[in-house]
Structures are given as structure tokens and as C-alpha cells.
Amino acid sequence: MKVNIGLRGWRFDDDILDENGRIRPLGTLDPETRQRLLILARRVVDPCDACRMVEGAATEACNVAEVIYGEPNGEVVLCSAHEPDFIYWFRELGGEEYAGETEMRRAFHEWFVEGGRAPDDYEGLEHVDEDPTAVPDAPPRSEAIPGIEEELDQVDEDDLDSIDIDLDDLDV
């Protein structure tokens, strides 16, 4: 069985969790799963990428990320208000050609920064949350991904640096 952890989107084999629903020791996971999890741990407390592009540095005006798409180090996190923009770009405007590639984030960000949006009546999703969670209500990482804080304490700082994510160098 596959499970979502922390955010919708990326799905993991459910044996990533132990019988108490906590993350298994990172050292026991295969490298790709571990990398995804470390990125997820970092991004689960981030604001939505699209909100950040709209609001600039004013992250308190952004919604929390609720969904994660794309590949590790090219992932996009979005609130439910901006998820339709991504889905529209992906399905209708050729974004799909970036599937499986880290370039996807840059391509989506460029489109969005240029003013790209889904039409108001776009029905790409079955449900859209009209009232996305504001940042102050973001669950703490330890709640979103049970057991992850203990695991992160064990991780080499160098490993974390290697997955560092820098949105600041985007020209927005």
C-alpha cells in the first residue's frame, strides 16, 4: 500500500512507517526514499511556492503547502488555492513534458511568475479547498511526519546541505 506523509502528492510504500505510524530509521530506507523523505521534511513546513512568488518575502501572507509534485530537488509545493494553476499548466500547457525531471520546478515557476494562471472555471480537480490553511496553522514537522525529528537529529549536516533548497535565487 502507498501512503501520503505530511503532504498530498508524493506517495510512499507504507512499510516506511513502523507499527506505531512513525518513520523507520533513515538508515534502513533505500537512498531514494530517504532523499525524498528528507526533502519532504524540509518542505512540509514551507509556504506554498506560488504564494511566495505572489507575496515575495511576506511569507506570513502565504498559505501552507498542502501538496507536493515533481521530483526531489525539482519539487513544487502548493496550497490548495494554487494547486489548480499547477494542474492546468501540467495538463493543458505542456508541463507534463517535464514529468520526472527536476527542471519542472523552474519551468512552472517561470510560467507562474509571468502571470500564468488556471482559468477561473478550470475544473482540473475534484475538490478545491476554498479556505486554505494559513501559515500560523501549519502543523509542526514532528506532527506532520511522526518520528522525523529524531531521525533528523541523526543525519549528517552534510547530507542536509546536499538537499538544500534555495528559492531565493529565482528571479521573481
Binding positions for Zn ion, rule: CB under 5 A: 48, 50-51, 63, 79, 82
Sheet with 2-5, edge to edge strand ranges: 2-5, 7-13, 67-69, 76-78
User: Cα(140)–Cα(105) distance, rounded to whole angstroms?
Assistant: 25
Amino acid at 143: E
Looking at the Cβ atoms of 37 and 135, the one nearer to Zn ion is 135
Residue nearest to Zn ion (CB): 48
User: Closest approach of Cβ 66 to Zn ion, in Å?
Assistant: 9
Q: Is 44 left (phi over 0), alpha (psi -120 to 50) or beta?
A: alpha
Looking at the Cβ atoms of 36 and 52, the one nearer to Zn ion is 52
User: Closest approach of Cβ 5 to Zn ion, in Å?
Assistant: 21
User: Closest approach of Cβ 63 to Zn ion, in Å?
Assistant: 5
Looking at the Cβ atoms of 48 and 138, the one nearer to Zn ion is 48
User: Closest approach of Cβ 18 to Zn ion, in Å?
Assistant: 33
User: Cα(92)–Cα(84) distance, rounded to whole angstroms?
Assistant: 11
Q: At CA 99, angle to CA 78 and CA 161, rounded to 5? A: 65
Looking at the Cβ atoms of 38 and 63, the one nearer to Zn ion is 63
Under DSSP, is residue 50 helix (H, G, I), strand (E, B) or coil?
A: helix
User: Closest approach of Cβ 79 to Zn ion, in Å?
Assistant: 3
- The number of C-alpha atoms within 13 Å of 108 and in the hemisphere containing its C-beta is 34
Looking at the Cβ atoms of 24 and 117, the one nearer to Zn ion is 117
